[in-house]
Structure 1
Amino acid sequence: MMANEALRRRRNVRRWTQTQVAERVCAQVQAATGRYPELDANWVSRLERGAITWPSGDYRAALCAVFQVTSEAELGLYPKGSAASGREPTPEAPADDVRSLAADTELSARLARYAAQTNVNALVLEQFDADVERLARDFVSRPLPLLVPEIRTARAEVFRLLEGRQHPSQTRHLYVVAGWLCGLAAHVSLDVGDRSAAATHARTVVQCAEIAEHSELRAWARSFQSLAAYWAGDYRRAADLAQAGQNEGRGPGTGTIKARLLSLEARARAAEGDNHSALRTLTLAHEARMAAGPDELSGVFSFPEAKQWAYTGTTLLAVGGDEQIQEAITASNRAVELYQAGPEGDRSSGDLRAAHLDLATAYFASGEVEGAGAKLSEVFAAETYTASITIRLRNLAALLGSEPYRGAQSAVDLRAHIREVTGRPALASNPTESR
């Protein structure tokens, strides 16, 4: 039995005890296989005495990793029955050397074991997909306080898994799930009026989409950023972001997202005063609706026909003029009809209020004060509002403070009522996307 001087010298150079070597090998084996072996100083001593010349594959791989060598030969290890020289072998051993061949084989085996490691499987990813789909659908109609903890818990679990190891395709899948969940968090923030938090969540969605190379998620992220810019009053940026969503990467995808982006752009162009571009883009939005395929996700991530008619009404109202105002009334009425006719679980109370507000504003603009008051009563019935509804109400109050409404008692009373209801916290008990 010949002592393994090569292994002993490498240990002494590092000033490790035999116990420390054993502990490092155990940790390395656990990291590679998930199994913690029972190795101690006696095992290392047997290696150095030559009592063990060729430990099992996991242990050899761990020893190579611990001592940072590329082959077992450098550690004086060799299979039983092969010729063991009395000096430390070198990596330059002949290609047909048994130990060199064994070391090369073990390196491939180590790579295979490493590549196979994953902390997720198909069922885990399937469950995440189901959770995202349910949360996106429930976001339209369920109370926000019930959903926020679920969204936060799901995001935390995805983030934890991403810190581990998966196959590349599984990692991309997790980033898509993370992106959609951050999108829901962004909606929550915008609904309660926290634009800074919403912007942070939205940037994370963009990052997830870039990593996963997911066109629909990237386009949706741009649509949300456009939405946020619109409600911040930055109409030029809102239009540019909506346009970017149509052109980045491989385009927005085949669902209703293109119709959404074009509708957002049209509304922003109208608010900016570019009426010609607004009307042209509005036409393109309805053409995109005709060509749209099914959406990847429903609920808050989809763009239902009712919402598109609501956007149309808002755009036409901003363009102004007698003809456009009448068309805005028609479009907003169509939106209300579609919302009210849809399944209760898909009915967005926030979007419905927004459509009623557009109708009220259009009726005021056309001189139909009685019709405007009837539509406002639908809005005032709510206990709380999203941030966007609050902005709309304040804009309407500003309109009522201008000519020809300023002196009318009905306008004065409405303005006082609006001041009272908009003083409430901007938190929707039945949230939806800020329109």
Structure 2
Amino acid sequence: MTGMTFGSQLRQHRLEAGQSLADLACQVHVHRTHVHHVETGKRVPSRELAEAADQALGADGRLVQAFDEEDQQRRQQAATRRTLAASLGASRKLVELADLELDELHAGVEETAVDYLGTAPGPMLHRADALRRDALSRLRDYRHGPHERSDLYVAAGRLSGILAYSALDLGDADAALEHARAAGRCAQHAGDTELLMWVRGTQSLIARFNGDYGIALDYVRDGLQYVGDVPGTGEARLLCGEVQCLANLGDSRAANRMLHMAEQARERARRPDSLAGLFEFSETKQRYYAASSLIWLNGGDDARTAAAEAQAAIGAWERMPVEKRSLDDERLCRIYLATAHVQLGEVEAAAEAMTPVLALPAEAQISWINKRAHRVGSMLAAPRYRRSPAAVDLREAIGALG
């Protein structure tokens, strides 16, 4: 029963014991409607109910264990929500301060940017928020040297950017936008064009998450005005964001033309990104963007190109050391590969691509994963797949995700 919710396990044990909802409700001293709501996930059970049901159904402690595991997850999620709410207050203060002065930030900014690639968003949210709280404390106390202001603006902006990514991965686009706005304000105060281009790309990403492709294009084009003698891969990242917009708007020709332009932009980049991890745009990430864009078109050659780009990106990540792999992007890329296979009618290949994603624990299923996986499930509901057992199985497996 690994991976099953407490409610699902309760229902399975009840059915195996041959008991109706009313039978079990009578033994645990609650109304049968309450038992039904617990089984379907509409109500959170108490531990007393779990213990009583475990004894009534002869579950030998398995139901109590399932309750304890879910209760721990609920507590962790509640702590993350509290941190997210508190971090928003800090972003608002950064935006509202007209004369922002920053002192030094903790040396962990760079480490956090790299660790983000392989760590769940919840812990990253906590770490970035703690670092930025220290920055705000130093701000209020004016604990900084006269020549440190610009560098510290950049550090605060990067931390705000990490918080934006964390919030978006947790499914809160509104919070992500506020954090990104704070990051942009810091970049402007510091006069750091590289960071400002990165922020515009992130704001475009948030708009794309919301399905606001016109707004997303505006962010991209605002960012592109800063292209010039700027280090790093910001231009390629912005152009790949434009590719995603164009593909979602159904313009295959323009999307493929922009992909070519993004490749040329990468070739023109002569200096590396100033910070690694979340703030760099690797060739592997660029392939990921190509795959994530072309799957929104009408299949055919676009789907075949998307599958090839996704497979190349996955292979590159698999060859990297664990600390350099972007695990969430790698998992999403498997969904994009599966999407392309479904568009091409290759359901078995889609199921194979999705297998590692379907095995993820609940805490690793970030909002992007659920959103994109359920699109695959919707595609499998098309009439052409109604008589395909493999399609039915894959659709049901996707439906079990959070």
Q: TM-score, normalised by structure 2?
A: 0.70
Q: 1:336: Cα distance to partner?
A: 0.6
User: Which residue is equivalent to 2:78?
Assistant: none
Kindly indicate whether the alpha-carbon contact (under 8 Å) linking 1:246 and 1:252 is maintained by their aligned counterparts in 2.
no
Which of 119, 122, 147 in structure 1 is aligned with 2:124?
147
Kindly indicate whether the alpha-carbon contact (under 8 Å) linking 1:133 and 1:297 is maintained by their aligned counterparts in 2.
yes
Q: 1:339: Cα distance to partner?
A: 0.7
Distance 1:375 1:253, change over 3 A: same
The CA distance in 1 between the partners of 2:115 and 2:219, in whole Å, is 27
User: Which residue is equivalent to 1:399?
Assistant: 379
User: Comparing both chains, which one has the higher relative contact order based on Cα–Cα distances under 8 Å and sequence gaps of 6 or more?
Assistant: 1
Q: Does 1:193 align with 2:171?
A: yes
Which of 234, 240, 264 in structure 2 is aligned with 1:257?
234
Distance 1:276 1:154, change over 3 A: same
Kindly indicate whether the alpha-carbon contact (under 8 Å) linking 2:102 and 2:135 is maintained by their aligned counterparts in 1.
no
Distance 1:119 1:349, change over 3 A: closer
The CA distance in 2 between the partners of 1:370 and 1:408, in whole Å, is 10
Which of 103, 126, 131 in structure 1 is aligned with 2:108?
131
User: Which residue is equivalent to 1:108?
Assistant: none
User: Which residue is equivalent to 1:353?
Assistant: 331
Which of 281, 285, 294 in structure 2 is aligned with 1:316?
294
User: Which residue is equivalent to 2:88?
Assistant: none
Q: 1:302: Cα distance to partner?
A: 1.0
Which of 182, 185, 206 in structure 2 is aligned with 1:204?
182
Name the % identity. Answer: 34
The CA distance in 2 between the partners of 1:403 and 1:119, in whole Å, is 59
User: Which residue is equivalent to 1:231?
Assistant: 209
The CA distance in 2 between the partners of 1:209 and 1:147, in whole Å, is 21
Q: Does 1:175 align with 2:153?
A: yes
The CA distance in 2 between the partners of 1:234 and 1:150, in whole Å, is 30
The CA distance in 1 between the partners of 2:229 and 2:388, in whole Å, is 48
Distance 1:119 1:176, change over 3 A: closer
User: Which residue is equivalent to 2:397?
Assistant: 417
Q: 1:237: Cα distance to partner?
A: 1.6
After the TM superposition, which residues 4-153 of structure 1 pair with which residues of structure 2 at under 5 Å, given as runs?
125=104, 128=106, 130-153=107-130
After the TM superposition, which residues 322-341 of structure 1 pair with which residues of structure 2 at under 5 Å, given as runs?
322-341=300-319
The CA distance in 1 between the partners of 2:302 and 2:167, in whole Å, is 33
Q: 1:320: Cα distance to partner?
A: 3.2
Kindly indicate whether the alpha-carbon contact (under 8 Å) linking 2:299 and 2:344 is maintained by their aligned counterparts in 1.
no
Distance 1:350 1:243, change over 3 A: same
User: Which residue is equivalent to 1:389?
Assistant: 369
The CA distance in 2 between the partners of 1:238 and 1:168, in whole Å, is 38
Quick one: which amino acid aligns to residue 319 of structure 1?
L
SS in 1 for 2:306: helix
Distance 1:252 1:157, change over 3 A: farther
User: Which residue is equivalent to 2:267?
Assistant: 290
The CA distance in 2 between the partners of 1:186 and 1:295, in whole Å, is 19
Q: Does 1:281 align with 2:258?
A: yes
- Deviation per residue, 1:233-291 (Å, 9 max, x gap): 1122222212211114x658220111111111101111111222211111111111112
- Deviation per residue, 1:38-60 (Å, 9 max, x gap): xxxxxxxxxxxxxxxxxxxxxxx
Quick one: which amino acid aligns to residue 163 of structure 1?
R
Distance 1:252 1:387, change over 3 A: farther
Is 358-367 or 406-415 further displaced after alignment?
406-415
Larger radius of gyration: 1
The CA distance in 2 between the partners of 1:310 and 1:220, in whole Å, is 17
Which of 230, 233, 242 in structure 1 is aligned with 2:220?
242
User: Which residue is equivalent to 2:37?
Assistant: none
SS in 1 for 2:281: coil
The CA distance in 1 between the partners of 2:165 and 2:384, in whole Å, is 37
Segments of structure 2 that go 5 or more residues without pairing to the other structure are: 1-100
Q: Does 1:157 align with 2:137?
A: no
Is 162-171 or 137-146 further displaced after alignment?
162-171
The CA distance in 2 between the partners of 1:321 and 1:420, in whole Å, is 26
- Deviation per residue, 1:86-135 (Å, 9 max, x gap): xxxxxxxxxxxxxxxxxxxxxxxxxxxxxxxx995xxxx4x63x311100
- Deviation per residue, 1:167-188 (Å, 9 max, x gap): 5532222211110011111111
Q: TM-score, normalised by structure 1?
A: 0.65
